[in-house]
Amino acid sequence: MAKTIITAALTGAITPAGYKIPETPEQIAAEAYEAWQRGAAIVHLHMRDENGLGVMDVSRFKETIYRIRSHKDCDVVINCTSSGDNRASAGDAAGNAKRMAHFRELDGIEMGSYDAGSFNWMPGGVFMNTPQFLQELGDLYIEKGIVPELEIFDTGMLGVVNYFLKKGHLKPPGHYQFCLGVLGAMPATVENLMYLIGHVPSGATWSAFGIGAAHMPVMYAALAMGGHIRVGLEDNVVYSRAENGQKVLATNNMLVERAVSAVKAFGNQPATPAEARKLLGIKEFEPEAVRAKLGIE
């Protein structure tokens, strides 16, 4: 039976006004554990500061990872962002260093996002990922044994990834994450997803998600085309519409549970973290060694 990896993206860098997401390391770690219990193989982590803004704070990443790994039964794959603070994304050396500090300094990170290009993230500003940053980030991931999540927002980013693969700053074949529906990048349509899938290198794996209302069509299309899926409050804060038209707000648990049901209804099974590691080329999880490095008794 085919296995589908479910990634839970619990907390993005930006949340629309009026919606509640987990913000503190304690809250994020608790929801990561619950997402794993419900069937997510991977948790994708952003951090928030005391004002609820996205921040690349090494100490907050460290505490969150520590709290997740303190659950001795939890083997969820930990995937951290490299772009969680638009105040550190200007493309200068200091900003780039801030975006990579947790990967350099912390143990226990198994995957990291690799946003393969820059674009106008409307209407807020430019989402900056310079060639220099991407080269350094790719080299760092290779050095640390971290598997990149190759985030593709538009078609040109496929060429950027191919360039760095050829230059040896990324390892083939790669795991692609198609991020559809951001205003300023590729719209979330099944046709666009089909195009992107058709340009994935042989042997690569891929996953996809749609922003907001596009969440459901992209999730089902990804299942139909043999991919993996991502859900969570980073991408979608509305679960459904009531009969009166009112929004039913989502929780991470609700979104993971619906994803598990969709995978099973399609005839697949949610991949376990161990199965996800094997599919993505992540080294086998050694819980005692990991906890020892983190100082967990």
Is residue 136 exposed (0-12), middle (13-18) or buried (19+ Cβ within 10 Å)?
A: middle
Query: Which residues, 6 or more positions from 132, have their beta carbon under 8 angstroms from its beta carbon?
Result: 91, 96
Question: Rg of the Cα trace of the chain?
Answer: 18
Do the Cβ atoms of 80 and 103 come closer than 8 Å?
yes
pLDDT above 70: residue 257: yes
Q: How far is CA 236 from CA 151, 177, 219, 233, 291, in A?
A: 17, 16, 12, 5, 32
Q: In whole numbers, what is the pLDDT of the chain averaged over residues?
A: 96
Segment 149-153 mean pLDDT: 98
For 43-101, what is each residue's pLDDT tens digit?
999 999 999 999 999 999 999 999 999 999 999 999 999 999 977 666 788 999 999 99
pLDDT for the residue 124:
86
Segment 136-161 mean pLDDT: 98
pLDDT above 80: residue 120: yes
Do the Cβ atoms of 21 and 53 come closer than 8 Å?
no
Segment 110-136 mean pLDDT: 95
pLDDT for the residue 113:
98
pLDDT for the residue 191:
98
Q: Where are the domains of the chain?
A: 3-294
pLDDT for the residue 90:
64
Could you please state the CATH topology (level 3) that the domain comprising 3-294 is classified under.
TIM Barrel (3.20.20)
Q: In sequence order, which ranges of the chain are alpha helices (DSSP H)?
A: 25-38, 58-69, 93-105, 131-144, 156-167, 190-197, 215-224, 252-266, 273-280, 287-294
Give the count of alpha carbons within 13 A of 181, CB side only. 18
Do the Cβ atoms of 239 and 18 come closer than 8 Å?
no
Tell me how far the alpha carbon of residue 95 is from its chain's centroid.
21
Q: Between 87 and 9, name the one with better pLDDT.
A: 9
21 pLDDT band, cuts 50/70/90, is very high
